[in-house]
Chain A
Amino acid sequence: MIKERVATAPARADLCRITVRGKDGSEEVFDVKRNDLLLKAAIEQGVDYPHNCRVGVCGSCKTRVLSGKVSPMVDLALSPLTNEEIQAGYVLACQAKVREPLVVEAKLGRHALLPVRTVSARVVRWHRLAGDVIDLRLALDTPVHFNAGQYCTIAESGSFTRRSYSYYDVPPEEGAPAVEVGFLVKRLPGGRFSEWLFEKDRTGCKFWIEGPFGIMGVDDPDRDGLCVAGGTGLAPILSIVGDRLKKSRVARFTIVFGVRTANDVFANDRLDQLLAAYPDRVRLVTILSHEPASSAWSGPRGLVTAALGKDLGVDFGEVAAFLCGNLAMVEAVEKRLVELGVQPDRIHADKFVPSGTP
């Protein structure tokens, strides 16, 4: 299958033809201006290029260059690519300036991307949950569209500090824009944004949000889902599960939710609502990593990977997996799921990476 997009504005001589080959034999062709960043140019043309953070941190836009030349904006050793991947010709599309026509290997999506917008908003809910988590809800001055599993960056009005959080809401039906969005914010000791947010009730504060970004919740609607969330990684999982339950009458979901102790289990009300609304289609496994041995907890203990085994009752060869949590957790879960027979193409991951600035 070859799809071609027609380039318009720049002269042909300034354009580089990008041929994206998928492992399934598909091929898509589009043109970008010479010296443009590959990912940015692709997204601007509506190409559903895999991506998440767009600043060289998450590695979602990992792309293998088969022919042609790109210039990485920074030394690739400073990216999440492994040394082996760098030597095998992988680059990050978000950091790659296109110098020549390219043939690259990447898995493109088949969905129209939503436009990124920056809008102002006000805090309408600031509620402390267990486990040092805040349920932060913003009423948007201009409604925005987003897809399940996507994220945006938020910044308090007047502050340089911006952070990325996933929406926990299910996108409104019929393609309507959302007028309110919610996030789960974990307190990070010394973290500039989370410490400020936890300091006092921020209801009424003005924020700016930019988004939506990322692609995570996309797979066959009727396919059963295995969702693994570490801490506030639960946010996009709530969004994805809620959305897919509405879009399919048959898909079932197993949510594996990892937190440290029984006292850290947050978002019970949201999970309970989900379980009550779909008792036959949603299952929740909460696993605690640091629960004292003497406690009354009778559920599973250990890291989330400990809950992933044959006795989970999931057909690993058929499920679509959605993972969200910190980088180490997601990488460990990805490895475990592949061992259990999940197809790598069906593992959809969102990795939390600290901002790098305190």
Chain B
Amino acid sequence: MLDYTKYLLSPAILAAHAYGLWLGGNYVWLGMAILLGVLFLDAYLPRDYSMRDQRYVRIYDVICAMTVIASFVNIFFFSWLVGQGHFATTSSSVGAFLGTLFIGFVIGAPPVHELFHREEFVLRWLGRIGQCLIYDPWREITHVVTHHMRVATPDDPDYARRGDTVYGHILRTFPGQWKEAYHLEKMMWTKRGRKWYDPRNAWVYKAATLAAFTAILYALGGFMGALLAILTLLLGPRMLLEVFNYVNHYGLISATPGRFEKHQTWNHITPMVRILALEITNHAGHHEDSYKPFYKLEPDTNGPVQPQFLLVVLLALVPPLFFMMIKPLLKHWDMHYATPQEREIARRENERAGWHELNAPDPARDLPAGIWNMTAARATA
């Protein structure tokens, strides 16, 4: 049963965060402290390539749906508490804001992503509604269509090329996504012979959902409650999701757009991150079949692996440090994972980024073959 109960960690942290908010004062840091503690512990754990138990898979779905609902409760609760003037001190205000923001990213966003990929009507509906938790119901369309079809090419707005910083990526990715979302929505209403304002169009439904969500936040917390709640969602799950995209596909190359190969994404295979992120960091399996539920994803035992997730996200915020970490890994990928055609693209990408050292073999310093192999990981653990 451990495989099933593992995923209760997310709702448990949400509950702790809500309890901390209710207690007020310095207790508002409780949820985030637990979350950071778990992630720091995770950094010292070996990679986990195990498969999940498949006997009672509905339990996973229930936990996932429960986490989305609990995330809604959390954000409504936060708005209400702000409206009540509950956070009297600077520490409690900052702690409540940062905790809601960070927990919204690590715990709130993954089940939303998981469910909007699902085929079952109710789960998918919950996933689509759940996009209010990233305050962007349009995220799904560019993700499912554009990102999954064009991953690891510059035609994917979610993709960061070699040399790109996270800040440049954020400035590029949002306009790219908006443009693509408009293009796709327009295509759908045109194909169905509808006007742009036809109430049956998907965008109308999405806009109405977002308006209703905002109205609830406002009703519960007034202007300030709604504003701060929305800010936590935009700066947390929404913005940090792009940081996640930035690191998760950084610099990898596909010479076969539309036909994903497992080596074309990074993975984060540490045990706690797998649980908290609902296996989304077990990324090759997700891209191989985006309909596959998280509990069926098979970790790629020989796939490209980055250092622990939290560390990578923090490094991404400091570009020189991120580049220092990623360059040897990219060079290793070029040498051992890229197809001959991809290697030639990588060579030009390295030149474009000014990373000429990646094109020059250096046997003394280059990472040895097999560093991402599961057996090697166990040997070093």
* Contact present for B191 and A83 (CB under 8 Å): yes
Q: By the criterion CB–CB under 8 Å, are A74 and B292 in contact? A: no
The chain A residues found within 8 Å of chain B, CB to CB, are 35, 54-55, 71, 73-75, 77-78, 82-83, 97, 99, 118, 120, 155, 157-160, 162, 206, 208, 210, 357
Q: Are B192 and A83 in contact (CB under 8 A)?
A: yes
B182 at the interface (CB under 8 A from A): no
CA distance A229 to B341 in the complex (A): 33
Of B40-48, B99-107, B147-155, the one touching chain A: B147-155
A71-B119, A78-B187, A159-B348 given; A83·B341 CB < 8 A: no
**B345 in the interface, Cβ–Cβ < 8 Å?**
yes
Q: Determine the distance from Cα of A83 to Cα of B289 in the docked complex, in whole angstroms.
A: 27
Which A residue's beta carbon lies closest to that of B340? Answer: A120
Q: Are A155 and B341 in contact (CB under 8 A)?
A: yes
- For window 267-322 of chain B, which residues contact chain A by CB distance below 8 Å? 289-292
Give the CA-CA distance A55 to B146 in the complex, in Å.
12
Interface residues of B in 102-144 (CB under 8 A from A): 119, 144
Beta-carbon contact of B145 and A97 below 8 Å: no
Tell me whether A160 and B154 are in contact in the complex, defined as CB-CB below 8 angstroms, given that A74-B145, A155-B341 are known contacts.
yes
Residue among B193, B256, B340, B345 with max Cβ neighbours from chain A (10 Å): B345
| Contacting pair B257 A162 (CB below 8 A) | yes
In this assembly, does B255 line the interface, its C-beta being within 8 Å of a C-beta of chain A?
yes
A-B contact count (CB 8 A): 61
Once bound together, how far apart are the Cα atoms of A55 and B253, in whole Å?
A: 19
Which residues from A are CB-within-8-Å of B292? Answer: 35
Asked if B291 and A77 sit within 8 Å, CB to CB, the answer is: no
Q: In the complex, which residues of chain A have a beta carbon less than 8 angstroms from the beta carbon of B149?
A: 55, 73-74
If A35-B292, A83-B191, A158-B347 are given as contacts, then 16 extra A-B residue pairs at C-beta distance below 8 Å, sorted by A number, are A35-B289, A55-B258, A71-B119, A77-B187, A78-B145, A83-B193, A97-B291, A118-B341, A120-B340, A120-B341, A155-B341, A157-B341, A158-B345, A159-B348, A160-B155, A208-B344
Measured CB to CB, the nearest residue on chain A to B339 is A118
A160–B161 Cα distance when bound, in Å, is 11
Determine whether the beta carbon of A77 is less than 8 Å from that of B345: no
B154 touches A78 (CB 8 A): no
Task: Tell me whether B256 and A210 are in contact (CB under 8 A).
Answer: yes
| Chain B residues close to A by CB (< 8 Å) | 119, 144-145, 148-149, 153-155, 184, 187-188, 191-193, 253, 255-258, 289-292, 339-341, 344-345, 347-348
A160 proximity list for chain B (CB < 8 A): 153-155, 253, 255, 257, 345
The contact of A78 among B119, B155, B188, by CB within 8 Å, is: B188
Q: Bound state CA distance, A54 and B258, in angstroms?
A: 9
Docked-complex contact B184 and A78, CB < 8 angstroms:
yes
User: Could you name 24 residue pairs across A and B whose Cβ atoms are closer than 8 Å?
Assistant: A35-B289, A71-B119, A73-B148, A73-B149, A74-B144, A74-B149, A75-B145, A77-B188, A77-B192, A78-B145, A78-B191, A83-B191, A118-B341, A155-B341, A157-B344, A158-B344, A158-B345, A158-B348, A160-B154, A160-B155, A160-B255, A160-B257, A208-B255, A208-B341
A residues less than 8 Å from B291 (CB atoms): 35, 71, 97
* In the bound complex, CA of A160 to CA of B258 (Å): 13
Complex: A36 Cα to B289 Cα, angstroms: 9
CB distance from B161 to the nearest CB of A (A): 9
Specify which chain B residues have a CB less than 8 angstroms from the CB of A120 in the assembled complex: 340-341
Query: In the bound complex, how far is the Cα of B347 from the Cα of A160, in angstroms?
Result: 12
Q: In the complex, A158 Cα to B338 Cα: how many Å?
A: 12
Chain A residues near B340 (CB-CB < 8 A): 120
Nearest A residue (CB) for B119: A71
Is the pair B191, A77 in contact by a Cβ cutoff of 8 Å? yes
